[in-house]
Amino acid sequence: MLWPLFEIAPELVFPDGTVLGNLLKINKFHELNKW
């Protein structure tokens, strides 16, 4: 899993330009919406 990576490098940018921190926010948002 990438979870340790989220904590270590939230500003890490993937080759396609996606920022890891943004993915984390999106994932948290979706998890909240599941409930």
Domain layout of the chain by residue ranges: 8-34
Instruction: Name the pLDDT band for 34 (thresholds 50, 70, 90).
Output: low
- CA–CA separation, 18 vs 32, rounded Å? 21
- CA–CA separation, 17 vs 30, rounded Å? 21
Residue type, 12: L
Mean pLDDT along residues 26-32: 68
Binning the chain into helix, strand and coil, the percentages to the nearest 5 are: 60, 5, 35
Going by C-alpha positions, the residue among 12, 29, 34 that lies closest to residue 21 is 12
Quote the pLDDT of residue 29.
66
Mean pLDDT along residues 28-35: 65
pLDDT in tens, 4-26: 655 655 566 666 766 666 766 77
Quote the pLDDT of residue 25.
74
